[in-house]
Amino acid sequence: MIHLEKRAEPSKTWTAFTPVLAVILTMIAGGLMFAALGKDPFEALRTIFYDPLFSEQFSAYSRPQLLVKAGPLILIAIGLSLGFRAGIWNIGAEGQYIIGAICGAAVGLALYPSQSWLIYPVMILAGAFGGWAWAMIPAILKTRFNTNEILVSLLLVYVAEQLLASMALSTLRNPEGNGFPGSRNLSQHWATSNPELISGTGMHIGVLFGFIAVIMAYIMLNKHMLGFQIRLTGESPRAAQFAGVNPTRLILICLGTSGALAGLAGLFEVSGPAGQVSIDFNVGYGFTAIIVAFLGRLHPVGILLAGLLMALTYIGGELAQFMLGLPGASIQAFQGMLLFFLLGVDVLTNFRIRIGHGGKK
């Protein structure tokens, strides 16, 4: 008989190794899925994980895309990881991302066609504010009325999507757009654009913010009182209570930070890679970032690596779609599978597996 024995504390080795194991298992299961779709599994996996980085034909285009896609994922995931550590579940980052983009873009569009260099910083502030404000709805409902933040933050994603449609179709629509939906192109106007900082790398201001967020989160979690309180609340809510942690404050800070970071990610996307406010400029980064946060073990450095890996699956997925005719949805299923395997193998971190009856009471 196999049974589980709880470890006194999580295994350090397994904490580092389980994400790798999960990725390997996902590749095996994903290979089987690709084989079931009638594709050569080895070729598919090579196209997704190897070709975007190393193939001569594609890497010139794909490599910069890595940072473009990883930037928003990392930025959002860092914010989410703070709350997840403390047991505060913001799963509506997609909505905060949309509202951040709308608010930031609205500022830029209102000041069009001014060329002042001050516009972009104000847009950044507006983007962060939009995401923060949207996240404050579940935060205040949680602290004031004890309403479940999971459901509220998620339902607000659908509200944000409708709001986005309304903005793209009427309020923020390009007056010179010949009646097409969507706003003016922000990335083609100097004062409102988020350009590539170093040509050919994909590095833009948002990616820079992502890296800064990683460093800040690392310092905060390890050196700051707030980081300690977050970790303590996650590991033992009762101990946190005795240590004088104010749960209301923690909820407001965790949800607020994750909302502001998601809003920033939205603004950088809409003024850079996406270029304009359109009905479907959002591609689900807010949800994928949840996987990134877990794959990175809620650790800033882990999230950095996980964000890059997840970005690779996006780019490789597009490449596989183009080269092998692999359906785009299979990548989404692949990413979901990764989270399953990750959560599954996590058992090794917290439990020892015992075979036989030894140790059973």
Partner 1 sequence: MDLSAINPLVLITTLMIAATPILLAALGELVVEKSGVLNLGVEGMMITGAICGFAIAVETGNPAIGMLAAMVGGAMLSLIFAFLTQILLANQVATGLALTLFGLGLSSLLGQGYVGVKPPSTPKIEIPLLADLPIVGPVLFQHDMVVYFSIFMVVVIWATLKYSRLGLVLRAVGESHDAAHALGYKVVRIRIMAIMFGGAMAGLGGAYLSLVRVPQWVDGMTAGAGWIALAIVVFASWRAGRVLLGAYLFGGVTILQLNLQAAGVNLPVEYLSMSPYLITILVLVIMSAKGGRAALGAPAALGRVFHASS
165 near partner 1, judged by CB under 8 A? yes
As to burial, measured by CB atoms within 10 angstroms (0-12 exposed, 13-18 middle, 19+ buried), residue 66 is: buried
The Cβ-side half-sphere exposure at 36, using a 13 Å CA radius, reads 7
CB of 202 vs partner 1, minimal distance in Å: 25
Residues in CB range of 81: below 8 A, 6 or more apart: 217, 293, 296, 298, 299, 300, 303
Q: Which residue has the tokens 């034909």?
A: 57
Which of these segments, 1-9, 181-189, 195-203, 227-235, binds partner 1 (CB under 8 A)?
Answer: 1-9
Considering only residues 4 to 43 of the shown chain, the ones binding partner 1 according to CB under 8 A are 4-6, 37
Cα dist. 137→101, 153, 314 in Å? 17, 8, 31
Distance (Å, whole) CA 96 – CA 290: 14
350 near partner 1, judged by CB under 8 A? yes
Copy the structure tokens of residue 263: 């809003």
Which of these segments, 13-21, 155-163, 173-181, 216-224, binds partner 1 (CB under 8 A)?
Answer: 155-163
339 near partner 1, judged by CB under 8 A? yes
Copy the structure tokens of residue 65: 């895309």
Which of these segments, 19-27, 181-189, 258-266, 287-295, binds partner 1 (CB under 8 A)?
Answer: 287-295
CB of 216 vs partner 1, minimal distance in Å: 24
Of the residues 21, 122, 136, 163, which one makes contact with partner 1 according to CB under 8 A: 163
Considering only residues 88 to 127 of the shown chain, the ones binding partner 1 according to CB under 8 A are 89, 91
Nearer to partner 1, 12 or 360 (CB): 360
Distance (Å, whole) CA 104 – CA 118: 13
CB of 298 vs partner 1, minimal distance in Å: 11
Of the residues 158, 188, 237, 325, which one makes contact with partner 1 according to CB under 8 A: 158
CB of 170 vs partner 1, minimal distance in Å: 7
Question: What are 354's strand-pairing partners?
Answer: 3
Of the residues 49, 285, 287, 314, which one makes contact with partner 1 according to CB under 8 A: 287
Nearest to 133, CA basis, from 266, 225, 282, 293: 266
Which amino acid is located at 42 in the chain?
A: F
* H-run or E-run covering 5: strand 2-6
Distance (Å, whole) CA 271 – CA 204: 11
Considering only residues 312 to 331 of the shown chain, the ones binding partner 1 according to CB under 8 A are 327, 329-331
Of the residues 16, 60, 169, 212, which one makes contact with partner 1 according to CB under 8 A: 169
Provide the binding-site residues for partner 1, judged by CB under 8 A.
Answer: 3-6, 37, 89, 91, 141, 145-148, 150-152, 154-159, 162-163, 165-166, 169-170, 287, 290-291, 294, 327, 329-337, 339-340, 343-344, 346-347, 350-351, 360-361
